[in-house]
Amino acid sequence: MPLKIMDIDRIMEEHAPARFKESYDNVGLMIGDKSSEVTSILISLDCTLNVIEEAKRKKCNLILTHHPLLFKKPNNITTDTLLGKKIIEIIKSEINVYSSHTNLDSVAGGINDIIMQLLGFNNYKTIELSDARRDNDFSTGIGRIAVLEEPIMLSDVCDRIKQSLGIPLLRYSGNDIKKVKKVAVINGSGQGYFNAAIRLGADCIITGDTTYHYVSDLLEEGIPVIDAGHFGTEWPAMKILAKWLKNTLEDMGFNNPVHISELNKNPYKYK
């Protein structure tokens, strides 16, 4: 039997159940037909116009993203807005779009876990457990905090991040020679979890999308913040997710190609 969108929906739901999404989030099939057959799959962090064109060129009728295309309910769908242009082009091109966001951040084997493993932080636990977890589940939730085997200098933590996540530049606060023992990691925009990380004893926080006052206040408290970027703290994990999905499909007897987007880029440039 051919692979269908409903099969992808079932696979992703088993891996990252929608009940684990945050209350503000929107996940699952954004646009499409669950009964349609899948040709090829394109994995991307975002569903940009360039990614839509890439999907068309590579004959992918499914774009699987981390960030939801429909995060908030649109007031209209017209070519006057960027979102409207995307939706109209997706429908015209008979492309399906599926997003797995904060639920994929939260679960075991999800984005946060993958980033911890890439960084070599193995002895970790969850910062804020999900309200939707079962009583015996002590891992599902947002953010991870790790106790290092041996303290390392802040400058060495920065170097490890750049090497492990393939990030050429990052910004950070704190004394380069400060010894770090307990590290919190919140992929993407993690400022809302800073206080929870500090309560758990974090003496360094790694995340993306930080703002001045948060970092300034923590600097006064002696807690370094490493901003490795929203893209930088999520895209490496999505590339690994693509390999996982490909292997999962092959184990099920499907040979549909799974492509990693070549046009999903960090919007920031550095000089």
Query: Is residue 259 a known part of a binding site?
Result: no
Instruction: Specify the DSSP element, H or E, that contains 150.
Output: strand 141-153
Query: Is residue 66 a known part of a binding site?
Result: yes
Query: Is residue 220 a known part of a binding site?
Result: no
**Residues 6 or more apart whose Cβ sits within 8 Å of residue 150:** none
**Residues 6 or more apart whose Cβ sits within 8 Å of residue 194:** 205, 214, 218
Q: Please report where in the chains the tokens 């994990």 appear, as a residue.
A: 237
Distance CA 45, CA 132 (A): 25
Burial 34-54 (b: 16+ CB within 10 A, else e): eebebbebbbbbbbbeebbeb
Supply angle C-alpha 139, 98, 260, rounded to 5: 85
Query: Is residue 234 a known part of a binding site?
Result: yes
Query: Is residue 101 a known part of a binding site?
Result: no
What distance lies between CA 189 and its chain's CA centroid?
10
Residue ranges for the known binding site for a divalent metal cation are: 66-67, 105, 230, 234
Binding positions are 66-67, 105, 230, 234
